[in-house]
Amino acid sequence: MRVLSVASECAPLVKTGGLADVAGALPGALAGLGVQMRTLLPGYPQIMAALEGARRVLDLPDCFGGAGRVLAGQGGGLDLLVLDAPHLFDRGAGIYLGDDGRDWPDNPERYAALSHAAARIAEGGLADWRPDIVHCHDWQAGLAPYYIARGPAGGHVGTVVTIHNIAFQGLAPASRCGALRIDPADYTPEGVEYFGQLSALKAGLMFADRLTTVSPTYAEELMTPEFGMGLDGVMRARSGRLSGILNGIDEAVWNPAADPLIPKTYKAAKGKAENKRALQAEFDLPQSDGPLCIVISRMTGQKGLDLLLQALPVLLGRGGQLALLGSGDPALEYAFKEAGVHPNVSVRMGYDEALSHRMMAGGDAILVPSRFEPCGLTQLYGLRYGTIPLVALTGGLADTVIPATPATLAREVATGLQFHPVTAEALGNALSRLCTLYEQPKIWSRMQRNAMAHPVGWDVSARAYAALYEGLAEGQA
């Protein structure tokens, strides 16, 4: 089974979020199941620098404003195809944003080029390799199923679109249909039109053979107006082609027993004490009898961190502490810096991969109060490291954390805490329960052991993807 994975970012080469982790982990997770996956990526400077053994395999002389080519090679342990189009991707600043913090104005063309290259590969553009399936991730690859369906490969190559976050939809003015090589006849509510604009994500949702998202609960949520972001009608119409497959994490990278990014490895939850003291020292926090809670997050409204600010006095009043690593909305950044004047609150702005590992190793609990969360990965890292997740009851958070209730505690299966509704009051109540559980060492230790034993890898999900590909390929034969 040959699968072309199309993504705008991929760990360990370039990463802004969980999409990169998934794109980087899937090829290895599927290799043992008879799936040969190659990953098509944009030729950002970071990826071009990491590409080894590069050879030109496809020329694209009219690549949305300039000449481009597809290079084959290896990088980051992956079998790569890279769209080398300097006029589109050879830029400083962020991969999506310019120095002014705004989207690059030509992002629609940049990722249309990526999608068009995928379609050319699906049509047999490479001399020695043609995919059976094209697996497209998020809006940046959303036009690939459209180009494939409208081209010579339509009906012969299966297409899958995975929604990692439906809030990002790849919108562009209708006037750019021509520039994006979209037939005006397809600019309809049944095609790519979305409230007076065109949407690359909607194109993918309408033209792909199968749709997936990154947790079963999120798949159900997407069919509701509350979570569907204007696409709930599309999701309901295509519900028969939609499935939710949980993300996993790379258990070799996130391994508390052999993590090179933490100062001391440990094999059980009892190793927490030493790592906690080290983390407190690193964040200039005093020793405390309460739980050390960590947050590693983008600072946006989606992540519910404004609710945490409101509920924070409950945690601090019970002797708890907060160590936060993140960046994003300037107002939230400022508010947390202000909160950091409290001796038991410490904030680091930005992102630091090594520090995030040390936080997982030393924290007692990880807080994920998201208003919506397609899957979430930080709670999975927390489980792996015995750092008890406290999460909102939504999306993948609902699917991956067994909440501490009288029944689950009696059966000794609880792995964390959940709260609902997603309000500051409910979060405050959950933080109070967290502190109460922390004050009961036997119960807390049992929860830590449960968390560390909970399956968080790719085994089950990889089999689900492989089965999806197989069924789709049989239908295309």
- Residue 337 counted as an annotated binding residue: no
Type of residue numbered 162:
T
Q: What is the dihedral of CA 463, 464, 469, 470, to 10 degrees?
A: 70
Report cis status (omega within 30 of 0) of the bond before 189.
Answer: no
- Specify whether the CB–CB gap between 349 and 372 falls below 8 A: no
Type of residue numbered 412:
E
**Residues 6 or more apart whose Cβ sits within 8 Å of residue 395:** 215, 217, 218, 221, 370, 372, 373, 374, 375, 376
CA distances from 185 to 146, 180, 181, 466 (A): 13, 14, 12, 35
C-alpha 176/C-alpha 65 separation (Å) is 13
For residue 245, how many other CB atoms are within 10 A of its CB? 21
What residues form the annotated binding site for ADP-alpha-D-glucose? 15
- Binding-site residues from annotation: 15
